[in-house]
């Protein structure tokens, strides 16, 4: 009987242990599938969007993620590039292929092509922040890279400040809701509390919108690419380049003659004065020699 009792207890303990292990494995597997690693993307690298998704506490042995950790990656990058290409349409297609290759897209595009105008196109690309440098390196094969300017704006301090303001607004909202639930005081006091609650909720919506804006622009950088064909060497229709060159040479010659004629108004009076001075000086020297 004693052996039977000990065996039953052992079976119950083993069953409880297996149930607990199975429950723990389900919990952690479901949590790992449903939630990404805090502060990391699918490749295990720090990502502004992944960090910004959860700003409360970590899971398991991961350290807690705070707004300060998210702020370290809140950098908005913008760049402008100018490229000279042989043909406009293939260059536009290559820029679009580059945007798709790095996981971005073309947000805006503007093509200029008309009579007596330089054919060019400007494309605004939205590029993932972690592949921003790769997209800049991919501009060189498109054509002759003339200029590249990059600007980085650190908005981490603003992100932390807006989060703190939003937390304070949430706490104030809870206090106002508690006051309304109590419903003590006059009707005017209740209306004042409702107006204050509406103002606080408006502030919360504004803070949330600003946070979404900062997250989106920090996660997706902006690259503005301008591609243009070289300036044409030939003249306009109905005109010859050599004829225009000879005409310009004749205009330059006429301008030189006009400049010489204009200068005579200064040279002739100066020449007359110089001749008189020279004549008087010569006579004075001759008279001096005779007297000697």
pLDDT in tens, 228-263: 988 765 555 445 667 778 888 888 888 888 888 888
User: Which range (50-54, 141-145, 190-194, 245-249) has the least confidence?
Assistant: 50-54
Q: Is 15 inside a domain boundary? A: no
Q: Is 261 inside a domain boundary? A: no
Q: Is 125 inside a domain boundary? A: yes
Determine the 3-state secondary structure of 163 from DSSP: helix
Pairing of strands 75-84, 220-228: parallel
Q: Facing residues of 120 across strands? A: 112, 228
Q: Is 4 inside a domain boundary? A: no
pLDDT surpasses 80 at 22: no
pTM for the predicted model, two decimal places: 0.51
Region 20-24 average pLDDT: 42
Region 127-152 average pLDDT: 91
Total domain count, the chain = 1
Q: Is 89 inside a domain boundary? A: yes
Region 156-170 average pLDDT: 91
Q: Is 253 inside a domain boundary? A: no
CA torsion through residues 192, 197, 202, 204, sign: positive
Structural domain boundaries, residue 192: 74-229
Q: Which of 143, 144, 109 lies closest to 123 in space, CA to CA?
A: 109
Q: What is the pLDDT of residue 82?
A: 93
Q: What is the pLDDT of residue 240?
A: 63
């Amino acid at each position: 009987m004693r052996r039977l009792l000990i065996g039953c207890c052992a079976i119950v303990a083993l069953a409880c242990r297996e149930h607990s292990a199975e429950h723990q494995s389900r919990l952690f597997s479901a949590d790992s599938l449903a939630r990404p690693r805090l502060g990391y993307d699918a490749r295990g690298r720090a990502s502004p969007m992944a960090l910004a998704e959860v700003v409360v506490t970590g899971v398991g042995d991961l350290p807690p993620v705070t707004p300060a950790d998210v702020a370290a990656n809140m950098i908005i990058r913008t760049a402008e590039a100018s490229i000279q290409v042989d043909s406009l349409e293939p260059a536009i297609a290559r820029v679009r292929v580059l945007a798709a290759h790095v996981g971005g897209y073309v947000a805006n595009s503007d093509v200029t092509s008309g009579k007596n105008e330089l054919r060019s196109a400007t494309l605004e690309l939205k590029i993932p922040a972690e592949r921003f440098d790769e997209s800049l390196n991919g501009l060189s094969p498109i054509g002759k890279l003339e200029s590249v300017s990059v600007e980085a704006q650190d908005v981490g301090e603003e992100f932390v400040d807006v989060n703190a303001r939003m937390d304070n607004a949430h706490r104030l909202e809870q206090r106002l809701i508690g006051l309304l639930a109590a419903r003590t005081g006059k009707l005017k006091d209740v209306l004042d509390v409702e107006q204050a609650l509406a103002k606080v909720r408006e502030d919360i919506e504004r803070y949330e919108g600003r946070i979404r804006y900062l997250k989106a622009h920090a996660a997706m950088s902006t690259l503005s690419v301008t591609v243009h064909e070289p300036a044409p060497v030939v003249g306009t229709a109905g005109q010859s380049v050599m004829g225009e060159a000879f005409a310009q040479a004749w205009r330059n010659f006429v301008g030189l003659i006009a400049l010489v004629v204009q200068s005579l108004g200064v040279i002739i009076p100066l020449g007359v004065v110089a001749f008189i001075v020279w004549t008087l000086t010569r006579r004075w020297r001759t008279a001096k020699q005779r007297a000697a």
